[in-house]
Structure formats: C-alpha cells, structure tokens
Amino acid sequence: MSELELRQTTVEASAEHLEPRRRRMPRAGTVLAVAFVAFLAVATVAPSLVWTQDPNRIAAADAFESPSLAHWFGTDESGRDVYSRVIAGTATSLLIGVSATLIGLALGLVLGVLASFGGRALDFGVGRVIEVLFAFPGLLLALLVIVVAGPGPVTATIAVGLSTAPGYARIIRGQLVGIRSSHYVEAARVLGHSPGRILARHLLPNALVPLFVLATLGVGQAIVWAAALSYLGLGAQPPAAEWGAMLAAGRTYLATAPWLTVFPGLMIVGTTIATTMLGRALTRRGREGR
C-alpha cells in the first residue's frame, strides 16, 4: 500500500457508493472544487489579477497585523500582505507539485507497462522492486534522495517524484492487467483484431481516464509532501513565497501571529481536498459512460 493507492481506492469506492443522480446537475462539492482549481489556475498564470497588493512590498509599520478587510490573511513580520504572498506562491507550489507528479507518473508508467506487458519474469522483478521501495514508507525515500543529492527545491521535487513512483507503478500495473484480461478485450481477440489495434482502441483509451484521475490525486499529495520538505528546511527556502516555506517562516511567530501559519496551510488543505473531489467526479463520469 501507499498513500496514493489508498486515496485512489477510496475515490473508486466512493464513486461506486454514490446514488445515481436524478438530474444531470453536478454536485455542489464538484462545483466548489472546480471553482477552487480555476482560482489556483488564475493565481498561477496571472497572479496580479487576484492579489490585492505587491506581495513583496515591505511596510515595517504594518508588521504582524491580524486579518482584516485591508489584509485578508493579515501581514507578516515585514508588513507584507500574507494573502498576496499566498497567491504569489501558488505558481511555485503548483509547479513543484505538478512536476513531481509527472516524474512519479512517468516512472510509474514505465514500471507498470513493463510489468504488465513484459512477461512473467519482468512482472515478478518489477513487483519485487516495488515491494522493496515500499519498505521506505512515506517521506523516507524522499529524505534518502535528499541526503544523496542535497537539499533544494529541485531535488525536493525529484525526491517527491521518485518516492511516489512505486505507488503509481502498482496502480497502473493493476489497471492494465485488469483491462487486458477483461472480457471485452477477449471479445476483440475472438473477432480477430490484432494486438496493435486492441492496444490502440481498447487498452489505451480505457486506461486514460483512470490515469488522469490518478494524476489529479497525485498532484494534491505531491504538493503536501513537497511542502513538508520545505517546512523541514530541505526544499524551497524562505523568503521564497512557496507555501511550505511560508509555513516554515511563520513557525517562529506561531504564538503571536498564527495567521502566518494558518492561511498558507489552508491553501494546501484546500488543494488536496479539491483534487480528491475532482478525482471522484472524473471517476463517476467515467463510470456513467459520458
């Protein structure tokens, strides 16, 4: 098991247990999740549209102001607006999360495809590799990578990508094996279709939606892990506006200015929840065949 597999199976299971909808109305949670992700996208592409002031504007007189109408999330030790800094940090945090996911997904795909198409010996070998990598639970593999490669945002990203790869590999292998042994692939073989055609028309299209769901869930998880590494001082460093680094910087002032910690963290929590909800909505849509 890995955290990713757990998230993935619960998403699958919950999509199964939801009652069928009477009307074709998206659920309120899905709408909120889409809105949140859209907001993150704007904050990434054009942060100046949504921030209220220059995130790096220092105003010593305004230091440590608690949240107010002027400063929604309060101000930090240099009087910078926390809300604007959170917006400014979206791009970095998402970039790290998405890159780590792509690394993990790419490695997972290679391992998963090798295991499911490479014959019995390869399947066995890949299975053992995955099993061994799972013996470095959670952040442990990432920490090991950082010992080797040294701290920093780039190595942290790679570290998170590497440590999520075995989870991706096992899920992808399971899905490919499931599709390959499905009755409809067998029916296509009985019709005399070639393996290439079966791959192109049945295997890949049916593997795509679950893969997309998986990537969505993975981004949420990768952001959390990368932020954890930043928080421990091994990833992005303050004064960067990356969410984890902001949290780390706010740690000193936890007793006097908790908003420095609360709001960047809420963004991380919100992103994770939104990706999970999106994953569920996508799975459901895939199930209902639309």
Q: Decide whether 45 or 204 has the Cβ nearer to other proteins.
A: 204
User: Which of 193, 212, 237, 285 is in the footprint of other proteins by CB under 8 A?
Assistant: 193
Phi, psi of 75 (to 5 degrees): -130, 160
Site stretch for other proteins (CB under 8 A), options 57-65, 101-109, 111-119, 273-281: 273-281
Q: Which of residues 135-164 bind other proteins (CB under 8 A)?
A: 135-140, 143-144, 146-148, 151
Q: Considering just the CA atoms, what is the radius of gyration of the chain in Å?
A: 22
Least CB distance from residue 49 to other proteins, whole Å? 27
What spatial distance separates the first Cα and last Cα of the chain, rounded to whole Å? 31
- The answer to whether 194 contacts other proteins (rule: CB under 8 A) is yes
**Residues whose CB falls within 8 Å of the CB of residue 281, separated by 6 or more in sequence, listed in order:** 26, 27, 30, 33
168 binds other proteins (CB under 8 A): no
Is there binding between residue 34 and other proteins (CB under 8 A)? no
**CA-CA distance, 222 to 26, in Å (whole number)?**
27
Query: Quick one: which of 24, 60, 183, 196 contacts other proteins (CB under 8 A)?
Result: 183
CB 134 within 8 A of CB 168: no
At closest approach, how far in Å is the CB of 153 from other proteins? 16
CA distance 287 to 128: 32
Nearer to other proteins by C-beta: 20 or 49?
20
Return d(Cα 134, Cα 150) in angstroms, integer: 22
Residue among 52 and 194 whose Cβ is closer to other proteins: 194
CB 54 → other proteins: shortest distance, Å?
26
Binding characters for other proteins, 222-261, by CB under 8 A (x = yes): --x--xx--xxxx---------x--x--xx--xx--x--x
**Distance of alpha carbon 283 from alpha carbon 66, whole angstroms:** 41
Residue with tokens 């949670």: 29
Give me the DSSP letters along 123-183: HHHHHHHHHHHTTSTTTHHHHHHHHHH-SSHHHHHHHHHHHHHHHHHHHHHHHHHHHHTSH
Site for other proteins in 39-58 (CB under 8 A): none
Q: Which residues bind other proteins (CB under 8 A)?
A: 1-3, 6-7, 9-10, 13-14, 17, 128, 131-132, 134-140, 143-144, 146-148, 151, 182-184, 186-194, 201-202, 205-206, 220, 224, 227-228, 231-234, 244, 247, 250-251, 254-255, 258, 261-262, 265, 268-269, 272-273, 276-277, 289
